[in-house]
Chain A
Amino acid sequence: MVLVDIRETKSVKAADIFLQVRPGKDFELITILRAMIKDQPISETQIAETGLTMEQLQDFVSRMKAARFGVMFFGMGLSMTRGKHMNSAALLTLAAEMNAFTKFVAMPMRGHGNVTGADVIMRSQTGYPFGISFNRGYPRYNPGEFSTVDVLVRGDTDCAFIIGADPGATMPQPAIDHLARIPTIVLDPHVTHTSRLSRVHITTAPAGISAPGTAYRMDEIPLPLHPALESPYPSDEEVVRRINETLMKKPDWMGERPQILQTQI
């Protein structure tokens, strides 16, 4: 196991080799590796910029090529720092190119909870994993415009419905301010930071403990949740279903519109 990080984390203990990359130099490092596996010339100075040495990288490359099945795990340290999705794209390309030598795959390390499950279902129903707007009656995708933080910071939304998340604890202050300004509804087994600034908090049964369901592993394998305890609270699913049923009784508020747009606007 080779660990690449900007500092010595707890995972170092489990690693055979630790490569400490200079902060913000992930893209450069990956690009250098892409060149090195193909025996393209790389100068010492280019490598020095990443905080590593030619010997370290040559050893790394030969280890990768010697593996029979290699996996690259990556997380938010790569995807949320300078370069963002460009870093992820570079790493995915490196993994693809490694297949010219041996079997290699890359896999994102997802956050806690059922992030992958939300991703998977949003994709099957809308085509997109997150950052989706339905305000024209069909799904549109634009991270940075339709992602939750951006919608809240711009003040674009006049109501918020939060299920199993606590943006009140993690999001930037302007987003939290807007959540407090508008009617916010929270569904959560616990009273969270977001609950405290919401108009309505509905306590729900925790999935996997007292509510059934499905959680997706980060390799998108679905696992059934078998509740061990009874709960006096309804499940998230039941609450959402009942809200939906009530909404369906409202007269059609969307007015005349076509069934299909042949070309999206």
Chain B
Amino acid sequence: MLRITGGTVYDPANGINGEVRDLNVEDGKFVSSVTSGRTIDATGLVIFPGGVDVHTHVAGGSINFARAMTPEDHRRTQAFIRSQTRRSGLGGMAPTTFATGYLYAGMGFTTVNEAAVPVLSARHTHEEMADIPILDKSCLVLMANNEIMLDLLEAGEYERAKHIVAWHIWAAKAYGVKAVNPGGVAAWKWGKDANHLSDPIEGYKNTTPGSIVTSLAKIVDELGIPHPIHLHCNNLGVPGNISTTLETMKHLEGHRAHLAHLQYHAYGGDDWHTMRSEAAQLAEYFNAHPNMTTDAGAVLFGDTVTITADGPWQHLLYKLTGRKWGNLDVENETGCGIVPYSYRPSNLVNAVQWATGLELLLLIDDPWRVFLSTDHPNGACFWRYPEIVQLLMCADFRKECMAGLAPEVMNRITLPEINREYTLYEIATIMSAGPARALGLGQKGNLGVGKDADIVIYHQDKDIARMFGHPRYVIKRGEIVIEEGDIRETPDGNEYLVKPSFDPGTDEFLRPLFEDRYCMSFENYPVEIERIERPEFQQCITSE
């Protein structure tokens, strides 16, 4: 049992905006009162619900490939030293599993959503997720380039496709559906891409990226998956891609959707020399369409490694940078590309990207619909989130940073004209309450009675980055895991799963197709439930 008294509480899920409240915890959940146990005097301290990351890449074949490709970074980064009860690890651009837990918890995050998992290697993703201490986790299965599903959409067999999607969510032991560059990753198997929403994709006559987007969004809604379709649009990172993004949003009308890392999809211009931010135009459309949520995918200057299922984009990035390039093709499902990258303020494109991410966060009015993310590790590493919080909360600091950019950037961005400063209440929304709600995790990002007791307690500090980078306490399910920068406990986290219903005949439908096209046996394909170390089931939303 634990009492936290006298703290200034920010709990957007319950509309509590900076009020002094006491919190009581028993058996990992908030209760109305406790009779004994430790008391933390939080007078003068700031209390948030534990952070929730809606979009990150921390476990699985792709980040592990990135680890293999960047030993030079492991050598120069911080090292976690083992103790008798705690495993060692390395931080940096692609932190190791154990270090991932320490680093996220170290800045007050307690739940993360691994955004891209192919079924074929999901078994390994779950191994890595089980290794990440402290955090509760969920993951999304990659569907938009699954050739069996694409063939069904091509043949107009929508109902069957729906069962196939549900089957794959359960086979991967995933929590929802991710769509990456719909059609484009499949086309990449032929060295092609899918650039236009209404053009048929390579190898198909009728199926277009637009039709995949609409069908998948509808399927996810009809299945009642708690988290809507999690979409990485076509033409990521390409100048002028604003038109693709707006068209994609039109295809999503009438459906719930989460648009991932919108920063990478908000550019105007015709080429790298004329590229500019179109965040204002995008935000205007987004503000008017409440069916969508998004995460920023913000960029910070510095070194990182980019990893995405978007194979064709990574080939382009390799050609642009001439740096290392890793490519994986995952049979009939998806692919993945990896390129180390450095964002520089002196680079016009990078400067526009940096501004675009912040503009989206500042121009989207409703903090319940835009969330803090860097698309870790693509825009920056997750452990740099406190720097973004500082940029959002201090207009003067933003101006200072902009002074370091090349002057020709200024007429390509709208950031200099934006004076909005985030409040603590809004930060708590974009960092915790909002993403928890978008994920359909009602027990997270909420300090109400009966919810999971995930709590961050900060010192009040004028230096915002320091305040959010060094919490006084981090409490996970009632257990103090971080105290004044020291790791106290490293409990295992749970894994969120859903089990959407599907036609029991789906196995027999899939088996011959699978045996014809895949190179493992059908029985070995789905991840066994016994392999999920601490599963926690979430209910699907039932339609009235």
Contacts and interface: CB of A to CB of B under 8 A. Distances in A.
Contact of A96 (B79, B190, B325): B325
Contacts of A100: 319
A28 B189 CA distance: 30
B81 A260 contact: yes
A137 B88 contact: yes
B82 A248 contact: no
Interface stretch (A35-43, A51-59, A124-132, A203-211): A124-132
Contacts of B318: 96
Contacts of A224: 123, 524, 528
Contacts of B327: 99, 105
Given A123-B67, A127-B90, A127-B96, A220 B121 contact: yes
B329 interface: yes
A226 to B, nearest CB: 8
Nearest to A129: B68
Contacts of B325: 96
Interface string B127-144: 110010000000000000
Nearest to A263: B78
Given A103-B189, A260-B79, A222 B329 contact: no
A223 B524 contact: yes
Contacts of B329: 105
A99 B89 contact: no
A258 B81 contact: yes
B394 interface: no
Contacts of A16: none
A200 to B, nearest CB: 24
Interface in A212-265: 214, 216, 219-224, 248, 252, 254, 257-264
Given A69-B189, A125-B87, A222-B121, A259 B80 contact: yes
Q: Size class of A's contact patch?
A: 35 or more
B191 A99 contact: yes
B286 to A, nearest CB: 35
B64 A138 contact: no
Interface string B90-103: 10101011100000
A124 B67 contact: yes
Given A68-B190, A264-B76, A123 B68 contact: yes
B127 A264 contact: no
A224 B529 CA distance: 13
A120 B64 contact: yes
Given A125-B131, A134-B82, A139 B88 contact: yes
B487 interface: yes
A141 interface: yes
Contact of A248 (B84, B121, B486): B84
A141 B78 contact: no
Given A125-B131, A138-B88, A222-B124, A257 B67 contact: no
Interface in A99-154: 99-100, 102-103, 105, 120-121, 123-129, 134, 136-141
A259 B89 CA distance: 11
Contact of B83 (A105, A254, A264): A254
B21 interface: no
B96 A126 contact: yes
Nearest to B487: A259
Given A254-B83, A257-B81, A261-B81, A128 B74 contact: yes
B88 A261 contact: no
Nearest to A261: B79
A247 to B, nearest CB: 9
B96 A69 contact: no
A138 B82 contact: yes
B315 interface: yes
Interface in B55-70: 59, 61, 64-65, 67-68
B504 to A, nearest CB: 22
B179 to A, nearest CB: 22
B79 A125 contact: no
Contact of A260 (B67, B71, B78, B189): B78
Contact of B120 (A141, A221, A248): A221
B191 A124 contact: no
B106 to A, nearest CB: 9
Nearest to A100: B319
B288 interface: no
B75 interface: yes
A220 B128 CA distance: 14
B320 interface: no
B403 interface: no
Contacts of A121: 127
Contacts of A262: 78
A137 B79 CA distance: 9
Given A125-B89, A126-B90, A264-B75, A220 B61 contact: yes
B31 to A, nearest CB: 32
24 contacts: A68-B191, A96-B325, A103-B188, A124-B64, A124-B131, A125-B96, A126-B96, A127-B92, A128-B74, A134-B82, A134-B88, A136-B81, A137-B81, A138-B79, A138-B80, A138-B90, A141-B71, A214-B127, A220-B64, A220-B65, A221-B120, A259-B80, A259-B486, A263-B78
Given A96-B325, A124-B64, A224-B524, 12 more contacts: A68-B191, A103-B188, A105-B329, A124-B67, A127-B90, A127-B92, A127-B94, A136-B81, A141-B74, A216-B124, A264-B75, A264-B79
Interface of B: 59, 61, 64-65, 67-68, 71, 74-90, 92, 94, 96-98, 120-121, 123-124, 127-128, 131, 188-191, 315, 318-319, 325, 327-329, 486-487, 520, 524, 528
Give the top 7 A-B pairs by smallest Cβ distance, nearest first: A138-B79, A137-B81, A103-B191, A127-B74, A138-B88, A222-B123, A261-B79
